[in-house]
Homo-oligomer: A and B are copies of this chain.
Amino acid sequence: MNANIKKVEYAVRGPIVQRAVQIEKELKEGVKKPFNEVIKANIGDAHAMGQRPVTFFRQVLALCSYPELLDDDKFPEDTKYRAQRILKACGGSSIGAYTASQGIECVRQDVSRYIERRDGGVPCDPDNIYLTTGASDGIVTMLKLLTAGEGRTRTGVMIPIPQYPLYSAAIAELGAVQLNYYLDEDKCWGLDISELQRSLQAASKHCNPRVLCIINPGNPTGQVQSRERIEDVIRFAAKERLFLMADEVYQDNVYAEGCKFYSFKKVLYEMGPEYFNTVELASFHSTSKCYMGECGMRGGYMEVINMDSEVKAQLTKLVSVRLCPPVPGQALMALVTNSPQPGEPSHAQFLKERTATLGDLAQKAKLTEEILNTVPGIRCNPVQGAMYSFPQITLPERAIREAKEKGQAPDMFYCMKLLEETGICLVPGSGFGQKEGTYHFRMTILPPADKLKILLSKVKEFHQRFTKCYS
């Protein structure tokens, strides 16, 4: 079998989650545990944690699925209009037809107008938009396209540490070289250009560094990069001729005061033609995050800028082999990027639902940070954005030794114990990468507020018990 696949690791669905599923089964079978349910705070899966889908989206999807409902009075007029527009763009007016491999043209137009509005008028060509099967698909496709070579000429891909492990997994699978640059925990997981420089220099002897990945807002780290830092990164990429991959799936998930989401595209354009005519950029979005949380639909898009036209032709060919992204996900992307406008029947409810979800997330971000920081031995940066906190935990020497004897990462040892004793499922920091000798866990802020409070107080109790027990 393929040896690269053996090197792939994906902690978000790793052994700890497998054990959590097992425990759930045991609970169902009546096995006694010190808890009644498993709380999964391991994955950014909003609906699974009780968030309700946006009514407008689901009404349109129902109409697209079963167009006989277009005669039904229960559906607002604008949902019908939207469904008809999507259906008209599908072969045979059915979402069961294959679409163009790049995605339905009118959906790509919606996406491009959304990007133009978001970025204050910066132009966006629908030909640069590729709809994808979730952002995961876009990211892997782009990495596949950009990586090449053997031995010392293998493509080096710079990724943040801590990172979302899709990146390390895809790099391993492709046989490319993973180049780590560390985010600065003491500066709220900020990006530091001298660290990018260090990482690049260290790499240039044994591979060919060509790609720089940024996740903003950050997963697992929850930071929102400032405009200045983004400018720095773009200058760095321009100077070093790196292809920029900007993972912006959390673009609506910004909570902290003073923080604002700036897209790489917007900043690039505002830095002038010397940049926006040369720097190669791919940016990624998804229906899975933000206020939508529609993970199961596997909707996403990528925008490519300044890509060499021959390479772009290769990209178009490459995506054609898989035929097309799922059409319900494409339809949803049309609705996300072209949401109800003032005056339209669905507008008020849509706005109410979106505001409530984002407001709720902002509160939970604050709550999580505050409660975790009351625990001696847990230190948590502000959750400025995204859906996670990634606190540093201090572990007693004896626990670290015992974990190592078991061949486990110390924070894996900690998270496993937490799961067995409390039913809480978190992901150890080692699954995302962290500075040698530091330990973390990642916890989503998605559980409903009352459950989140219980969860946090259980984590607190556990941490104190664990520390005492191993001191």
Does A3 touch B at the CB level, under 8 Å?
A: yes
The 6 closest A-B pairs by CB, nearest first: A48-B91, A296-B327, A62-B66, A47-B94, A48-B97, A326-B326
Complex: A327 Cα to B288 Cα, angstroms: 13
A296 to B46, CA, bound (A): 25
Interface-located stretch among A139-147, A194-202, A341-349, A378-386: A139-147
Q: State the Cβ distance, A5 to closest chain B Cβ, in Å.
A: 5
CB-based contact B296/A98 at 8 Å:
yes
| Chain B residues within an 8 Å CB radius of A325 | 298
Binding site for B on A (CB under 8 A): 1-3, 5-6, 8-10, 13, 21, 43, 45-53, 58-59, 61-63, 65-66, 69, 72, 74, 90-92, 94-101, 133-134, 136-137, 140, 144-148, 165-166, 169-170, 173, 288, 292-298, 311, 314, 317-318, 320-329
Cβ of A83 to closest chain B Cβ, rounded Å = 11
Contacts A61-B66, A296-B326, A320-B10 known; A97 to B47 CB distance under 8 Å? Answer: yes
Q: Is there an interface contact between A96 and B295, defined as CB atoms closer than 8 Å? A: yes
Partner of A296, one of B2, B97, B101: B97
A94: which of B101, B296, B324 is its contact (CB, 8 Å)? B296
Least CB distance from A202 to B in Å reads 24
Distance of A144 Cα from B170 Cα, bound (Å): 13
Output the least CB separation between A7 and chain B (Å): 10
A53 to B59, CA, bound (A): 19
Decide: B65 and A61 in contact? CB cutoff 8 A: yes
Assuming the contacts A98-B48, A98-B295, A296-B98, asked whether A144 and B2 have C-beta atoms less than 8 A apart, the reply is: yes
A61 and B415 CA atoms in complex are apart in Å by 38
Cross-interface CB contact of A101 among B13, B92, B95, cutoff 8 Å: B13
A1-B311, A296-B326 known; 18 new pairs, CB 8 Å cut-off, are: A5-B317, A6-B314, A9-B317, A10-B317, A45-B91, A45-B98, A48-B92, A48-B98, A49-B92, A52-B94, A62-B69, A65-B65, A95-B297, A96-B295, A98-B295, A144-B173, A295-B323, A326-B326
Q: How far is B8's CA from A317's CA once the two chains are assembled, in angstroms?
A: 8
Q: Is the Cβ of B62 less than 8 Å from the Cβ of A314?
A: no
Residues of chain B within 8 A (CB-CB) of A48 are 90-92, 94, 97-98
Does B321 lie within 8 Å of A8, measured CB to CB? yes
Q: Pick the contact of A148: B1, B9, B58, B74 (CB < 8 A).
A: B1
| Total copies of the chain | 2
Residues of B within 8 A of A62 (CB): 62-63, 65-66, 69
A339 to chain B, nearest CB (A): 16
- Say how far A139's CB is from chain B's closest CB, in angstroms: 10
CA distance A5 to B9 in the complex (A): 25
**A63: chain B residues within 8 A (beta carbon):** 62
Give the docked Cα–Cα distance between A31 and B224 (Å): 51
Q: How many Å lie between the Cα of A330 and that of B239 in the bound state?
A: 46
Complex Cα distance, B144 from A134, in Å, reads: 20
Given known pairs A92-B47, A94-B47, the reply for A99 and B296 (CB within 8 Å) is: yes
Q: In whole angstroms, what is the CA distance A415 to B65 when docked?
A: 35
From residue A164, how far is it (CB to closest CB) to chain B in Å? 11
Residue contact B66 to A322, C-beta cutoff 8 Å: no
A96 interface neighbour in B53, B101, B147, Cβ under 8 Å: B53
- Looking across the interface, which residue of chain B has its beta carbon closest to that of A3? B148
* Most B-side CB within 10 Å, residue of A49, A148, A326: A326
Query: Which residues of chain B are near A146, meaning CB under 8 Å?
Result: 1-2
User: Could you tell me if B321 and A169 are in contact, using CB atoms closer than 8 angstroms?
Assistant: yes
Q: Please, could you name 17 A-B residue pairs with CB atoms under 8 Å apart, sorted by A?
A: A8-B321, A21-B100, A45-B91, A47-B96, A50-B92, A52-B94, A59-B66, A62-B63, A65-B328, A69-B69, A94-B296, A95-B296, A97-B295, A140-B321, A170-B321, A173-B321, A296-B328
Q: Which residues of B contact A97 (CB under 8 A)?
A: 45, 47-48, 295-296
